[in-house]
Amino acid sequence: MTVPDAILAMIRSAVPEVQVYDSGVPDQAETGEPPPRYAVVWPNDGDMDMPPEDQQVAPVSTGESYFWQVSSVAPDRQMAAWIARTIRLAIVNQSVIVDGFSCGLIRHQGSFTPDRDENILSRRSVLIADRYTLLADRHDDIGS
């Protein structure tokens, strides 16, 4: 399991009654419209966290930074806010367990103002986006 996979699993368990997609909504031509309420997790695969040379303790960086956005979508602002808040309360200040990594706590970086979800034009959908970060340290032959 990767760090993004663990984050996705944590978000899915936070809102089991809400469909949670990974990196986009499936093609509507194949699956039809998404349900009235859902969330989309947009993770990155980790950025190497290398401090400036004069601040390095070791010659090789073992740190990685993970950033992701969760788009909470529902027919109205109240429901979209409930999805966003439920996810936020479940994951902020938590950590994930991933073989080969020591993971820090998940931090909330901010929320965007509710907006219309332009991916669904046949019905009103409100989107609230939240951004998160997590720092992780790799444990392998090079690292600790």
In sign, the C-alpha dihedral spanning 114, 121, 19, 101 is negative
% of the chain beyond a pLDDT of 70: 84
| Domain with residues 3-138, CATH architecture | 2-Layer Sandwich (3.30)
Rounded to whole angstroms, the Cα distance separating 61 from 75 reads 45
pTM (2 d.p.): 0.84
The pLDDT of residue 83 is above 80: yes
CA nearest neighbour of 98 among 50, 24, 48, 45: 45
Rounded to whole angstroms, the Cα distance separating 81 from 64 reads 30
In this prediction, residue 59 carries a pLDDT of 56
Q: What is the mean pLDDT of the chain?
A: 87
Structure tokens at 9: 């699993």
Structure tokens at 2: 């990767």
In this prediction, residue 143 carries a pLDDT of 44
The pLDDT of residue 50 is above 60: no
8 A C-beta contact, residue 68 and residue 107: no
Non-local CB neighbours of 4 within 8 Å, separated by 6+ positions? 43, 44, 45, 46, 66, 68
Where do the domains of the chain lie? 3-138
